[in-house]
């Protein structure tokens, strides 16, 4: 029995390690520069960042005056539940607070936390309440729970996540309701605990801060009339399939299924998001399979996940 328990703990430790990806300074700068005016006089909270190692901490310390930040809070999560003979002491997490008074200190004072610094802990929730904007790279495996907490406490945020999160029912629901959307840039490479780097092709920023491109109409130049064969309907859902965002027809008034890359250019004043099709189920509907049929399917051939949209503005 003890051996089984030990293996279970090691499995958890491995999972946590695989969830640790360190954001590069350049990637943070590439995105944050778009939000300068929205960060002014705000309390910024990085609640998944070790102040001693995080590029987020370094970035905000160096750009404290440039962004006009009121206060920066960073908390470190300490894996206190993972016992090793090399480090048998149960350690607590700590926080770092930077204000106008200590921004130039080479080593700002670290304040020990009572607990391990988990973002779900009571003391970290109190820090969350104090914050205006949360900015961090959270563990991808906790994305649903993390976003749910931000929504619960009505916080502005700018966080890094995997594109797969778009297909999570609670996240897609927020996207459909215009409570969360995509940022500007992609994050293609992360550092890892062992000093190596890992490349990604499906990671970006999720936010509820204002993004200028959400107010820009896509220029549509393709037409449905006369090209109906290029836009077949789904076998079990009343909408036409559009493989590429640039091929959205300008003259079609009905429902259209597009790829998730559409969200990079989505203007909620131009299109309504109606549904999401994820093979068997509708992402914005009840959980479970829908009559055992592939919804995102054309001529018996399944497609990738589709977002169903409908033109909002009148067609001229």
Task: Give me 111's structure tokens.
Answer: 């304040």
Low-confidence ranges of the chain (pLDDT < 50): 1-17, 82-90, 288
What pLDDT, on the 0 to 100 scale, is given for residue 5?
A: 34
What pLDDT, on the 0 to 100 scale, is given for residue 314?
A: 65
What pLDDT, on the 0 to 100 scale, is given for residue 91?
A: 60
Nearest to 55 by CA among 80, 31, 32, 28: 28
Number of domains in the chain: 2
Range of the domain at 180: 7-212
Task: Give me 306's structure tokens.
Answer: 């589709």
Are both 54 and 110 inside the same structural domain? yes
Is the pTM for the entire model greater than 0.95? no
Nearest to 270 by CA among 312, 223, 315, 316: 312
Task: Give me 287's structure tokens.
Answer: 């959980």
What pLDDT, on the 0 to 100 scale, is given for residue 4?
A: 37
Are both 239 and 200 inside the same structural domain? no
Are both 81 and 165 inside the same structural domain? yes
Domain assignment of residue 219, yes or no: no
What pLDDT, on the 0 to 100 scale, is given for residue 2?
A: 33
Provide CB contacts within 8 A for 127, sequence distance 6+. 45, 47, 73, 75, 95
Are both 141 and 247 inside the same structural domain? no
Helix (H), strand (E) at residue 207? strand 203-207
């Amino acid at each position: 029995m003890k051996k089984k328990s030990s293996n279970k703990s090691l499995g958890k430790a491995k999972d946590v390690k695989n969830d640790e990806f360190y954001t590069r300074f350049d990637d943070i700068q590439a995105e944050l520069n778009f939000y300068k005016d929205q960060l002014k006089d705000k309390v910024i909270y990085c609640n998944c960042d070790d102040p001693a190692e995080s590029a987020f901490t370094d970035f905000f310390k160096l750009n404290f005056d440039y962004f006009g930040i009121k206060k920066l809070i960073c908390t470190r999560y300490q894996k206190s539940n993972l016992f090793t003979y090399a480090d048998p002491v149960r350690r607590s997490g700590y926080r770092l607070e930077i204000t106008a008074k200590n921004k130039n200190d080479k080593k700002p004072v670290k304040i020990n936390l009572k607990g391990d610094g988990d973002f779900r802990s009571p003391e970290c929730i109190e820090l969350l309440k104090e914050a205006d904007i949360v900015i961090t790279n959270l563990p991808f495996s906790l994305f649903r729970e993390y976003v749910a907490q931000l929504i619960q406490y009505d916080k502005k945020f700018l966080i890094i996540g995997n594109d797969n999160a778009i297909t999570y029912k609670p996240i897609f629901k927020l996207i459909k309701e215009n409570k969360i959307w995509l940022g500007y840039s992609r994050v293609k490479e992360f550092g890892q605990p062992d000093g190596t780097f890992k490349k990604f092709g499906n990671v970006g920023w999720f936010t509820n801060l204002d993004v200028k491109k959400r107010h820009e109409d896509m220029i549509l130049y393709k037409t449905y009339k006369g090209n109906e064969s290029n836009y077949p309907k789904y076998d079990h859902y009343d909408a036409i399939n559009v493989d590429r965002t640039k091929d959205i027809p300008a003259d079609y008034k009905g429902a259209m299924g597009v790829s998730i890359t559409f969200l990079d250019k989505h203007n909620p004043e131009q299109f309504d998001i109606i549904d999401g099709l994820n093979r068997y189920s509708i992402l914005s509907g009840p959980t479970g399979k829908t009559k055992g049929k592939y919804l995102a399917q054309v001529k018996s051939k399944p497609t990738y996940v589709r977002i169903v949209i409908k033109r909002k503005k009148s067609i001229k």
